[in-house]
Structure 1
Amino acid sequence: MSLYSAETRRLTKRRFTKLFLLGVTLILAAVAAGMFFTNEKVGPAQIASAQAQAQQDYQRSLEQFQRDQAACQAAQGTAQASNWPPGCEGMIEPTAEDFQTQWYMPPTFDFRENFPDMVTTLAALLAMVAFIVGASFVGAEWSSGGMMNLLLWRPQRLRVLGTKLAALLVFFTALTVVFSAVWTGLFYLIAQARGSSESMTSGAWQSIALMELRGLALVVVAGAVGFGLASLGRHTAMALGVTIGAVIVFQFGLGTVLALAGVKFAEAYLIPVWMIAWMSKEVKIEDYNSCDFSSAGGCVPDSLTLTWPMAGGILAAVFVVIVGASMWTMRSRDVT
């Protein structure tokens, strides 16, 4: 049996891997079930009901306005006049436009509008699993002494570590492709039964496919980073500890410090906004403490747009640095 086949078998047979994959499958099933039962297909009956409810609320508000107006006029010249605007001026009469029909429509799953959020959900969950499984896959080998035993009959250090990483990334690539295909088909059926897919065009399908490819890249990088950090520390806890520290320091600590210091575009220093920019193609951050004046638009806040190529560059840099460092330390450090 080749080294790659042995590592793939070791990865897929681990109880840790199976439990995490079962857990993420159950979570995704719960999300899909929730979307199915909380949405419904909109037809003429639902539209008519929403229109009737909007009209009822409009009539009710109009009647209340008329009562308030009459009470205000009757209170003029009495002690109760202070409870109303002076001279009953400024009282706002409701209009039919204030009660729009779409506000009374039941939730419905529009595939083109709502499915991108489901793609992001899938990518985030699989990336988390890839990170943890990747860290455990190599971290357990170091902490148990399995890495040293393996190197007795496969003394090529970089080849051993590289093969382990390749087995991990190929496994999660295949897993993500399968999950994405099933996820897309499942939500397409939900849209057919509980919403609409009529707005899907060839361009919309291409956009969904590209978004899923970016999700795949996120999963692969997360798995490689977890693997690399655990290899650097030679223990699973190294990867998890660094992650927890990064969340505490960079998300809560750094975010609070930047907000108190009034740093412009403070959100750009936080990790989640870059993940959103990667998945959604771009994120626009506005600084409401500044004014970008123009004769046409007046005073508008300064803005900074983070795009997916910018986020992709950061992902690529993290991948190269972490994996490169783990390979370098594997080659240069003693294996004990």
Structure 2
Amino acid sequence: MRLLRVELSRFFSRRAVAMLLLAAALLTALVAGTTIWGTRPVDAAEQARAEARVQAITSSPEYKRDLANCQESPEDLFGPGADAADCRRLLAPSTADVVGRVPLALADEVDDSGIAVIVIVTVLMIVAGTTFAGADWASGSMSNQMLFEPRRQRVWWAKAGAALVGTGVAAAVLIAAFWVALYLVADARGIGTGAAVQTDIRWMVARGVSLAALAGFGGYALTMLLRHTVGTLAVLFVYAAGGEALISLLPVERSGQYSPAENVFAWIRDGGRVFDSSIDCPVSSAGCDQTFQLTLLHGGAYLAVLVLLVTVVSAVLFQRRDIP
């Protein structure tokens, strides 16, 4: 535990790590602020302008012509069963359409800004874990540290614990703060949030924090293997970008289940449907579905196996290789 505390202190004292945590905080605040501003209530002046705009549109010759054409054959536009009343109801713009804003709804943000925050924090936690490990190799201080603690596995795992805990705590604070801010704003605006939505958000926060912590740990483990920060980031970029391209070319059905990005989003979203052009659809088949369900369990297992493989190789080679 003493060694873990030392490594945690070293983690948070790294200037580069501190800058990354600050960047994560600022970007999270930016997403929250943009969401809050973009869903602000409509004031009296905006409402009056919107009503005037709606009146101008519905009084225009173009709108009246379109409405008359629709009322002559409403089923051509809106399908079987449509009548003339549907034309006026569906063609006429509302003040909400003109204003272009909708009230803040946390249920909608779960699949929107909530995902964006988790992705932003996760990416920066990967870089933080990578930077934490890479600094010791770049400065040559790793060999000096081994003089005080010659048991290599203890050193490796203490540093790993610091990367895991450090990035996990940072992610927990940022992601939770984002949702608390949105909840307080919604409550101040008189917008209720149901118990089911709150439960979904709690689970999403838990998945986001675990993903960010695992990403920070994985970045650390890969850097301890490659011993170079830039090299690690290059490998991650090639795997993320090149891997997606190669996987899309695999001559197997449902190749999307091996996609890093799809598995990450399956974990964040608690599963989801994935479009895959490799799913064969006969020409004569009507309504063929070229999507498949990628589950939370699959996404979690995929990510866990990747990190486990890197961890085992990194820890074993750290024990056996020379330390400059």
Matches within 5 A, 1:264-283: 264-265=253-254, 267-283=256-272
For the pair 1:247 / 2:248, whether they are aligned, the reply is no
2:151 aligned residue (142, 149, 156) = 156
Matches within 5 A, 1:291-330: 299-330=287-318
For the pair 1:26 / 2:26, whether they are aligned, the reply is yes
What is the CA-CA distance between 1:50 and the residue it aligns to? 6.5
- 1: distance between equivalents of 2:67 and 2:220? 69
What is the CA-CA distance between 1:36 and the residue it aligns to? 2.4
Structure 1 counterpart SS, 2:112: helix
What is the identity, as a one-letter code, of the residue corresponding to 1:171? G
Preserved contact between residue 118 and residue 212 of structure 2 (Cα < 8 Å): yes
What is the CA-CA distance between 1:137 and the residue it aligns to? 1.0
Question: Compared with structure 1, are the counterparts of its residues 19 and 176 closer, same or farther at alpha carbon in structure 2 (3 Å cutoff)?
Answer: same
How high is the sequence identity, in percent, across the aligned residues?
A: 24
- 2: distance between equivalents of 1:292 and 1:283? 26
What is the CA-CA distance between 1:292 and the residue it aligns to? 10
2:80 maps to which residue? none
Question: Compared with structure 1, are the counterparts of its residues 12 and 286 closer, same or farther at alpha carbon in structure 2 (3 Å cutoff)?
Answer: closer
* Higher fraction of strand: 1
1:107 maps to which residue? 101
After superposition, the C-alpha distances for 1:27-49 in whole angstroms (9 at most, x for unaligned) are 22222222222222269998898
After superposition, the C-alpha distances for 1:207-245 in whole angstroms (9 at most, x for unaligned) are 111111110111011111110110111121231120121
Preserved contact between residue 39 and residue 106 of structure 1 (Cα < 8 Å): no
Matches within 5 A, 1:1-336: 2-41=2-41, 57-60=57-60, 61-65=62-66, 95-96=87-88, 97-99=90-92, 101=94, 103-104=97-98, 106-108=100-102, 109-192=104-187, 197-198=191-192, 200-251=193-244, 253-254=245-246, 257=249, 264-265=253-254, 267-286=256-275, 290=281, 299-336=287-324
RMSD over aligned Cα atoms? 3.5
What is the CA-CA distance between 1:54 and the residue it aligns to? 5.4
What is the CA-CA distance between 1:56 and the residue it aligns to? 5.4
Q: Which has the larger radius of gyration?
A: 1
The runs of 5 or more residues in structure 2 that have no matched partner are 78-83
What is the identity, as a one-letter code, of the residue corresponding to 1:183? F
- 1: distance between equivalents of 2:187 and 2:57? 31
- 2: distance between equivalents of 1:115 and 1:65? 38
What is the CA-CA distance between 1:57 and the residue it aligns to? 3.6
In the superposition, the TM-score normalised over structure 2's length comes to 0.81
The runs of 5 or more residues in structure 1 that have no matched partner are 70-89
What is the identity, as a one-letter code, of the residue corresponding to 1:15? R
What is the identity, as a one-letter code, of the residue corresponding to 1:98? L
Between the two proteins, the alignment pairs up a number of residues equal to 308
In the superposition, the TM-score normalised over structure 1's length comes to 0.79
Question: Compared with structure 1, are the counterparts of its residues 193 and 59 closer, same or farther at alpha carbon in structure 2 (3 Å cutoff)?
Answer: farther
